[in-house]
Amino acid sequence: MKSTARLCTLLVLMLAAGDLPGQRLATEFVVDGLVQPVFLTAPGGDLDRLFVIEENVGRVRIIKNGVLLAAPFLDLGAQISFSGERGLLGMAFHPDYAHNGLFFLNYTDPAGTTTVSRWSVSAADPDLADPASESLVLTVPQPFSNHNGGMIAFGPNDGYLYVGLGDGGSGSDPFGNGQSGSTPLGKMLRLDVDGGTPYAIPPDNPFVGPGDPLDEIWALGLRNPWRFDFDPATGDLWIADVGQSGREEIDFQPGDSPGGENYGWSIMEGVNCFNPASGCNTAGLTLPIYDYEYDVFALRICVIGGCVYRGSAIPGLDGAFFFADWGSGQVWTLRQSGGAAGQLLERTLELAPGGGRDLRKIASFGRGGDGELYVLDRVDGEVFRIVGDLMSLAVPPLFAGQQAAIALTEASANARVFLTYSLSGVGVTTVPTLGVSLGIERAKLASSGRADAAGSFLFSEVLPLQAAGRTVWIQAIEAGNSSNVVQAVVG
């Protein structure tokens, strides 16, 4: 299944640069019937359950094997306030949840105070939390009802809990909280919830020491970091920070950063000066990796982060960051290289569910225990899984020295298609010119051709005699798309 010419062809495909569409995507409906779902998560490695928080009713719900359980995992009820942008806003499982059963919630209490607390799973039922187990970790009074942030997450590189807080609300940061070192508002906090009660200060936090800024602060200059995400593979931090009325921004912090970044609010909004409106001093500020114009006529009014894809089902999506806009319903993916943004692709039409369903108001993305990504519609109470719109590859029994007819369907009409194989197993082989990554390691080119108008092609290959007894992994690709991976043993 190989020749020198074919290997050279694949090397050319892999090394040349190209600006082609990324891996084609679609969505699969998971469940509906939720009440204002605003976040989804799962303990690492839990392949059966997804945990969804419902903002205004203060419940944590479980989707188990595709079914929304009737009994909530936890119901905070009267413990929360829900006017303005308040409610149950964030959830994070302890990295060692499988052994200690601890998880953390971020909500606003009846007075509107941001509350981060520790909880335990029930000893009797893994699908229920212990409602009497709450232990306070952090409370932050909020001067207004909006800009509470709400996201909490554990850093994959350090195991510390990160807490995103908005600037306290109203508009235009009236108290200057974003740049003030004496308040946690408008900041990213970093807490060691295992090292003390209720927490300890990580010794390498950037502002540890006497005086302001506060020891808890990891980064500052944020307006309303509603959702942020750590890249599970690198520890890079992506922050979607909601803008005022000029720019919506995405901030980026590399996984090896020592912290201390100042993302500029309210000196700047995105890449523009805000206060003052011109001639602002940008020294020491970290500008966004990407921002876009706030446009009320196009309904682009509120950036919604965001997750980096590191699942296994869609290799061509590896490393892409998803984000959306609350007003317009648009969805994009973005990649970074060396801290610079690239490969911005709009995904709105691809991810449109169809079948009478839509994604009207995207409140958040989420990651399951298997690393696959989900998107939540707050208004319709729905959850969708992001999936690859893959081509279909059918491989017959393979025999050394004989011809094999390998059928490809669901390719793009009249597209150039490539059949590849690996003797090493599953992995990742990136083909930049085709805008796709293979799900097999050390891929080699077997054949190529052009699909017909129906998107079908039949590869016809004679397997070499020396292939007898070998295991082979086979996959097809085209520009922006790949097929399923087929594993076979050559007879």
Residues 440, 426 contacting (CB under 8 angstroms): yes
Estimate the share of the chain in helix, then strand, then coil, as percent rounded to the nearest 5: 5, 40, 50
Give, as one character, the DSSP assignment of residue 463.
P
Q: What is the pLDDT of residue 313?
A: 87
Q: Distance between CA 262 and CA 260 in Å, rounded?
A: 6
User: Torsions phi, psi of 416, nearest 5?
Assistant: -75, 130
CA 167 to chain CA centroid, Å, is 24
Query: For every one of its 491 residues, what pLDDT tens digit does the chain have, with 9 covering 90 and above?
Result: 544 445 444 544 443 333 345 688 999 999 999 999 999 999 999 999 999 999 999 999 999 999 999 999 999 999 999 988 999 999 999 999 999 999 999 999 999 999 999 999 999 999 999 999 999 999 999 999 999 999 999 999 999 999 999 999 999 999 999 999 999 999 999 999 999 999 999 999 999 999 999 999 999 999 999 999 999 999 999 999 999 999 999 999 999 999 999 999 999 999 999 999 999 999 999 999 999 999 999 999 999 999 999 998 887 788 999 999 999 999 999 999 899 998 899 999 999 998 999 998 999 999 999 999 999 999 999 999 999 999 999 999 999 999 999 999 999 999 999 999 999 998 878 787 887 888 888 999 999 999 999 999 999 989 999 999 999 999 999 988 899 899 999 99
DSSP conformation letters of 41-60: E--TT--SEEEEEETTTTEE
Q: What is the pLDDT of residue 316?
A: 77
Q: What is the pLDDT of residue 439?
A: 84
> Could you tell me which residues come within 8 angstroms of residue 171 by beta carbon, excluding any fewer than 6 positions away?
244
Amino acid identity, residue 437? S
Q: What is the pLDDT of residue 19?
A: 39
Rg of the chain, C-alpha, whole Å = 24
User: Torsions phi, psi of 97, nearest 5?
Assistant: -55, -35
Amino acid identity, residue 32? D
SS3 77: helix
Tell me how crowded residue 223 is: count the other CB atoms within 10 A of its CB: 27
What pTM value is reported for the model? Answer: 0.91
Q: Distance between CA 387 and CA 309 in Å, rounded?
A: 11
Residues 335, 22 contacting (CB under 8 angstroms): no
> Could you tell me which residues come within 8 angstroms of residue 128 by beta carbon, excluding any fewer than 6 positions away?
71, 73, 74, 121, 122
Closest CA to 366 of 295, 444, 309, 302: 309
According to CATH, what is the number of the domain 4-13+391-489? 2.60.40.10
Amino acid identity, residue 389? D
Q: Distance between CA 438 and CA 429 in Å, rounded?
A: 5
Q: Distance between CA 225 and CA 248 in Å, rounded?
A: 11
> Could you tell me which residues come within 8 angstroms of residue 291 by beta carbon, excluding any fewer than 6 positions away?
243, 247, 248, 249, 250, 270, 271
**Where exactly are the structural domains of the chain?**
4-13+391-489, 25-388
Tell me how crowded residue 190 is: count the other CB atoms within 10 A of its CB: 23
According to CATH, what is the number of the domain 25-388? 2.120.10.30
DSSP conformation letters of 250-305: EEEE-TT--S--B--TTTEETTEE-SSSSS---TT----SEEEE-BTTTTB--EEE
Tell me how crowded residue 283 is: count the other CB atoms within 10 A of its CB: 6
For residue 451, what are the CA distances in angstroms to 21, 113, 415, 457, 474? 18, 60, 5, 5, 18
> Could you tell me which residues come within 8 angstroms of residue 408 by beta carbon, excluding any fewer than 6 positions away?
391, 392, 393, 394, 417, 419, 451, 456, 457, 458, 459, 476, 483
For residue 410, what are the CA distances in angstroms to 135, 390, 416, 456, 476? 53, 8, 13, 6, 11
Tell me how crowded residue 456 is: count the other CB atoms within 10 A of its CB: 16
Amino acid identity, residue 394? A
SS3 465: helix
SS3 124: coil
Show the tokens assigned to 30. Answer: 């998971």
Amino acid identity, residue 278? S
